[in-house]
Structure 1
Amino acid sequence: MKRRSFVKSTLLTGVTATVLPAMSYATETAPKTAEYYELRVYSLKSPEQQKLVENFLKDTAIPALNRLGVKHVGVFTEMKPESQTRLFVLIQFNSLAHFSSVTESFDTDAQLQTKGAAYLNAPAASPAYERIESSLLKAFVHMPHLEAPENKARIFELRQYQSATEAAGKKKIEMFNDQGEIDVFKRLGFKPVFWGETVIGPQRPNLTYMITFDDMEAKSAHWKAFGSDPEWKKISAVPEYADALLVNKITSTMLVPTAYSQI
């Protein structure tokens, strides 16, 4: 096993490879149930690391994932990084079995191992990245499939709502799935990409979603409209859905897609 294998660099792969049977991706090309997403965050310390990781993603990993039935791979940089930008990678899977079969295939793909050797076998003294933080998310019932926006200049907002307890987290998800909150976002033109519950990953319990705008001015206008929307006010006024009960931290990260991003 190669030390920097793309598929063994996270706990997620080891867990699912153990508990799920391998399946041919050919049986997974028509998703009928909620999708799963892997959200990766690469921490980098230099432009050289960023170039190495991006070249691997663009030239090797994304083409291989597409061959294995992954329809969309999004790669984003931070709009305003505090230092060297982090890379955010969103990978769409049709199911858990699809995730398992794809990750196992990476280990046996000789062409990928050869083409991606600079990344996969980077020496310890000059690593390809500092660390990967990875989460596995299950799509919400009310938006079970990723919706890629129109391919034009856009900005993306990645939001995460953390809850103090699992019960509170489930109740917040209920607002989106059962009370129409997702529909409010869509009606107001937020162009949501996905909603997902983190089933494996840090800062649990949490839910994560991605929305997109033409620019920062459009972002401000959309959120202003959301805050004054009568339907949203009706939903949020229900005592059991008060944010003070369900959410104890919200993070927002503004992202820009790379030129080769499929989202």
Structure 2
Amino acid sequence: MKRRSFVKSALASGAAAAIIPAAAMAADTDNPPAHSTDYYELRTYTLKNETQQKLVEDYFQYAAIPALNRIGIRHVGVFTELKPEGQTKIFVLTTYNGLAHLSHIADNIGKDAEWKKQGAAYLNAPASAPAYERIESSLMKAFKHSPLLVAPPKTARIFELRQYQSASEAAGKKKIEMFNDQGEIDIFKRLGFKPVFWGETIIGPLRPNLTYMVTFDDLAAKDAHWKAFVDDAQWKKISAVPEYADALLVNKITSTLLVPTAYSQI
């Protein structure tokens, strides 16, 4: 009897040991653990025509975003260009709790039967009729002074995605220092730019670079905010320091104006 009790107890303990991690994983899906620093994946889809645009948009609206939400992603932003030259590109911003979270998503999204069903047209598009021409991806780590994404109000807005390229890694780090430690991010917040994220690109093209996203009610508000920034006394003080001169730290600035799709979560 003692041996039977021991075996029964051991089996129960083993089952519990298997169930507890699974239960914890399920709990993490609904309530991702607290974290201190976001990581961002920015995808840029190059498209040939409206047919491809519809395939990509349908994929994110009906397949990818619901599946990502089911396994712990809270914010997926999908944007088109405000003033495209030809066929618009599609920009997709996905927020992760960390590198382990990114790995978990990559390992598990393929197990989602509904994702496969709803995304079949995109996932299985033939080579003769691809869903897109190319995807360019970057992985970014949030700045220490703005470590978590801030989703703006769900109102009619335009977004500005800005990238600062530097001639060297040292110059890129110095520019990030200017944002973090010299108060440049605080100026943006004080002036009402409603920044969404700030990230240093750790994997991706055109490195070294940093990328950030700010929002405005409309084009007139954008112009007014940037004028206020240029005229700001604190900004003039920071930018007047010789070691922070743009000529030393930044050799190219790219600005892209975006509008969110109706289903975007940012």
Compute the TM-score of the two structures, normalised by the length of structure 1.
0.89
- Partner of residue 183, structure 2: 180
Amino acid in structure 1 at the alignment position of 2:253: I
Separation in 1, partners of 2:143, 2:175: 12
Q: Which structure 1 residue ranges, 5 or more long, are not aligned? A: 1-22
Distance 2:51 2:244 in 1: 46
For 2:124 and 2:62, the matched residues in 1 are separated by 16
Shift of 1:143: 0.3
Residue 196, structure 1, aligned to residue 223, structure 2: no
Which letter maps to 2:69? N
% identical aligned pairs: 71
1:30 shift after superposition? 3.1
Post-superposition Cα deviations, 1:209-260, rounded to whole Å, max 9, x if no partner, equal: 0000000000000000000101111111111100000000000000000000
Q: Secondary structure at the match of 2:48?
A: coil
Tell me how far 1:108 sits from its aligned partner: 2.2
Size of the alignment, in residue pairs? 241
Q: Distance in 2 between matches of 1:30 and 1:179?
A: 31
50, 71, 76: which one aligns with 1:73: 76
> Are 2:133 and 1:121 equivalent residues in the alignment?
no
Between Structure 1 and Structure 2, whose CA radius of gyration is higher? 2
Aligned to 1:156: 159
On the 8 A contact 1:157/1:212 being kept in 2, the answer is: yes
CA distance in 1, matches of 2:34, 2:64: 22
Which consecutive segments of 4 or more residues in structure 1 shift more than 6 A? none
In the alignment, structure 1 residue 225 sits paired with structure 2 residue 265? no
2:216 is the alignment partner of 1:213: yes
> How large is the Cα RMSD of the aligned pairs?
1.3
SS in structure 1 of the partner of residue 162 of structure 2: strand
Report the 3-state secondary structure (helix = DSSP H, G, I; strand = E; otherwise coil) of the residue aligned with 1:256.
strand
Secondary structure of residue in 2 paired with 1:185: helix
Q: Give the 3-state SS of the residue equivalent to 2:185 in structure 1.
A: helix
SS state of the match for residue 92, structure 1?
Answer: strand
Deviation at 1:107, TM superposition (A): 2.2
Question: 1:1-263 maps to which residues of 2 (within 5 A)?
Answer: 24=25, 26=28, 29-263=32-266
Gaps of 5+ in 2: 1-23
User: Aligned partners of 2:34 and 2:238: how far apart in 1?
Assistant: 31
Q: Does the 8 Å contact 1:31/1:95 carry over to 2?
A: no
> 1:239, 1:30 → 2: CA distance?
42
Q: For 1:172, what is the secondary structure of its paired residue? A: helix
2: CA distance, partners of 1:201 / 1:55:
26
* More helix by percentage: 2
- Secondary structure of the corresponding residue to residue 206 of structure 2: coil
Separation in 1 of the partners of 2:222 and 2:144?
A: 26
